[in-house]
Structure 1
Amino acid sequence: MTAKKIAYYALTSKGHTIVSRLAVKLGGTVYASRRLEAEGATPFDSLSDLIAATFNAFDAHVFVAASGIVVRCLAPHLQSKETDPAVVCLDQEGKFAISLLSGHLGGANELATQCARVMDGQPVITTATDSVGVLSIDMLAQSRGLAIGDISKVKYVNMALLEGLLVQLHDPEDWLGLAWNMNFEGVNSVEDWDTSRPGVWVSWQNDCPEGALCLHPRTLHMGIGCRRDVSKEEILDHVHTIFAAKGLALKSVASLGSVEAKRNEVGLLEAAEDFGVEPVFYSTKQLASIDVPSPSDMVLAHMAVPSVAEASALLASHGGELIVTKQKTSTVTLAVARTRND
């Protein structure tokens, strides 16, 4: 749970002793019932009201309480296994740490194991793949930095693996590292894909066949130039239009780069936030050092470099290939480069 924000909840004195011990070892914020007058804890009157405020503010929640109480407090706030935070529940003696919610993607299985280790107790993990020691495709994708397309498809692949069935796999650059795994059968093209069987399709393009679990490697680097005071909507509209025209997957976006002069451009910053990436800004010296296929005299006159979009994309990709040369509207210029999994 490195760099995760964890909240701990205690309803009793024993519970407060446990969560305090966990917080010292694992870090985080401790909440305790007001009647305990617990030192070092933020007091609360109603656990349900507190969870309404904290549920989405933390990456993980650890309760020392009956699991039934915890479930009732959490129920109104649950959305998706892809977005819900991790939840772990411990008994009053700290003997058992139950991974209650978001065991895989949220990290509750890992957190339960860590809590049990601190308390010299036993982690209780009920996700099927972990119980029998079988590969979990969602955990593997997360560890390899791949974005999951349709989360509902994960269960079909994991179930097939549990049952010992051969799973189709299209992953020509071996992003998952399964090239020699005997549980998977390589498929080269959409034409060879069997829609009646579960399978995994790894691609940075919008070419996923029907029924497949599509995983997107974050390998596309956008370089963007823009007019002053451009809106977020103008940038997003142009990106979506070009990605759709070129058949590129938006979930494969890894970065957004531009020239240093655009560091405080609000629309650009908001667009980067929408894509879930930190914007990167390059000096004119850095941009001028990159050879691009479409230099511009107008950009040179205004920004003192022959290219912003193409040069930024290539810099961000660290030696990748330019797969979309600059595409312009009256206010936004976009180029896209791609890194390979070599």
Structure 2
Amino acid sequence: MSVKKIAYYALTSKGHTIVSRLAAKLGGTVYASRRLEAEGAAPFDSLSELISATFNTFDAHVFVAAAGIAVRCIAPHLQSKETDPAVVCLDQEGQYAISLLAGHLGGANELSTRCARVLDGQPVITTATDSVGVLSIDMLAQSRGLVINDISRVKFVNIALLEGMTVQLHDPEDWLGLAWDMSFEGISDPADWDKNRPGIWVTWHDDCPQGALCLHPRMLHLGVGCRLDVSKEEILDHVHAVFKAKGLALKSIASLGSVEAKRHEAGLLEAAHDFGVDPVFYSTKQLASIDVPTPSDMVLAHMNVPSVAEASALLATHGGELVVTKEKTSTVTLAVARAKGD
């Protein structure tokens, strides 16, 4: 993961020189102790108070300070390896760039390497998979755009790989690209899955066996039609109900689309936000160009187009196919499509 917003912290003049060099090359915001009167840096009086304000507003934090100082400052703010920002700690000479927190998903390993390259120093990376050159599943999943269902399951797979064990892999569409890798045993029939062994299950369905590391590709596209002033809850309830009935994974949702006339519908915008996607709105001309299995005379009369939900879902896939034709409540219509080749 390439971090974008970086904060640098200097407690000494040497530290300020180092972070200034890093910021010039990598970008970011420099903070320095007020007593340094450092040019080009935002001053601070208390580092711990500053971190309380900045910790969750930056993708990464780079300290030129003793590791213990950095640890004490960040400790009260740690939440999860899924969400914590990267933290890198450097010594006063810039000889070592230590990846301290969020090495994989947060990008600290990569950032420590970049810092060391700028300073002609040495990155210090202690994550086990990186130390011995073994594939890290969480990094691979991230690079392939897969959502990790339960981050706590990653360690069991990574430990198994470190110990040279063969890991079960159910990935019929080869999202991970590991079909060739002898470290994994391909499991095509769910009946052959051994719940007592570590394994990875890649799916856009809600069918992950207990104990498996479940990865979801974001490739299900929602098309939504709705009444005026529909609430977020009405949309979410309908999507959840349809996905449960059809056995689909909510974490595989890739987009939410509707007609341009719904661009300012608050409930629709809030529902998209809850699913972690940006809403997409299509013109009636775009929607009318799509052949759908269940056009509606009522929609045509009200929106001047024969379909909103099914047409929106199909447009998002650029020629894909519906996996759920339109399902209606009194206020919401939903269709779900997936792209060809996904």
- Normalising by structure 1, report the TM-score: 0.98
CA–CA distance in structure 2, aligned partners of residues 6 and 142 of structure 1: 20
Residue of structure 1 in register with 2:81 after alignment: 81
Using the TM superposition, give the Cα deviation of residue 220 of structure 1 relative to its aligned residue in structure 2, in angstroms.
0.3
- Look up the equivalent residue of 2:189 and give its one-letter code: S
User: Does residue 48 in structure 1 map to residue 48 in structure 2?
Assistant: yes
Q: Deviations over 1:69-110 (max 9, x none)?
A: 110111111011011011000001111000000000000000
Give the counterpart letter for 1:21 in structure 2: R
Alpha-carbon distance between aligned partners in 1 of 2:276 and 2:217, rounded to the nearest angstrom: 14
Q: Residue deviations 1:122-156, cap 9 Å, x none? A: 00000000000000000000000000011000000
Q: Aligned pair 1:247/2:251, yes or no?
A: no
Preserved CA contact (<8 Å) 2:319 2:340: no
What's 1:180 paired with?
A: 180
Where do 5+ consecutive residues of structure 2 fail to align?
none
Q: Alpha-carbon deviation of 1:188?
A: 1.1
Output the CA distance in 2 between the equivalents of 1:325 and 1:101. Answer: 45
Instruction: Give, in whole Å, the separation in 2 of the partners of 1:265 and 1:138.
Output: 36
Cα deviation code 1:271-305 (max 9, x no counterpart) = 11111111111111110000001101111111110
CA distance in 2, matches of 1:24, 1:329: 55
Secondary structure of 1:294's partner?
A: coil
**Deviation at 1:4?**
1.3
**Counterparts of 2:266 and 2:4 in 1: how far apart (Å)?**
28
Which residue type is aligned with residue 39 of structure 2?
Answer: E
Code of the aligned partner of 1:331: T
Say which SS state the counterpart of residue 229 (structure 2) adopts: coil
Match of residue 303 from structure 1: 303
Q: Which residue of 2 aligns with 1:149?
A: 149
Gaps spanning 5+ residues in structure 1: where? Answer: none
Aligned equivalent of 1:69: 69
- Identity level (%): 83
Deviations 1:301-341 (A, max 9, x none): 11110000000000101111100111111111111001244
Instruction: Give the Cα separation in 2 of the matches to 1:123 and 1:179.
Output: 32
Give, in whole Å, the separation in 2 of the partners of 1:151 and 1:189. Answer: 25
Q: 2 CA distance for matches of 1:339 and 1:214?
A: 21
* Deviation, structure 1 residue 199: 0.3
Letter paired with 2:227: R
CA distance in 2, matches of 1:2, 1:197: 33
Q: Specify the alignment match of 1:284 in structure 2.
A: 284
The 5-angstrom pairing of residues 1-342 of structure 1 reads 2=2, 4-341=4-341
Could you tell me the TM-score, scaled by structure 2's length? 0.98
Aligned residue for 1:48, secondary structure, equals helix
1:190 Cα deviation from its structure 2 partner: 2.1
- Runs (4+) of structure 1 exceeding 3 A deviation are none
Secondary structure, aligned partner of 2:131: helix
In 2, the alpha carbon distance for the partners of 1:133 and 1:264 equals: 49
What is the one-letter code of the residue matched to 2:67?
A: S
Quote the offset at 1:59 in angstroms: 0.8
Q: Which moved more, 1:200-209 or 1:233-242?
A: 233-242
Per-residue CA shift, 1:36-91, capped at 9, x if unaligned? 11111111111111111111111111111100011011111101101101100000
Cα distance in 1, alignment partners of residues 86 and 238 from structure 2: 36
Give me the whole-angstrom Cα distance separating, in 2, the residues matched to 1:268 and 1:50. 37
Whole-angstrom distance in 2 between the partners of 1:3 and 1:318: 30
**In structure 1, C-alpha distance between the alignment counterparts of 2:107 and 2:154, rounded to whole Å:** 16
1:184-223 CA-to-partner distances (Å, cap 9, x unmatched) read 0000122110011000000001100111000000110000
- In 2, the alpha carbon distance for the partners of 1:238 and 1:49 equals 44
Determine the C-alpha separation between the residues in 1 that align with 2:284 and 2:341: 29
8 Å CA contact 1:326, 1:334 repeated in 2: yes
Report if aligned partners of 1:231, 1:266 keep a CA contact under 8 Å in 2: yes
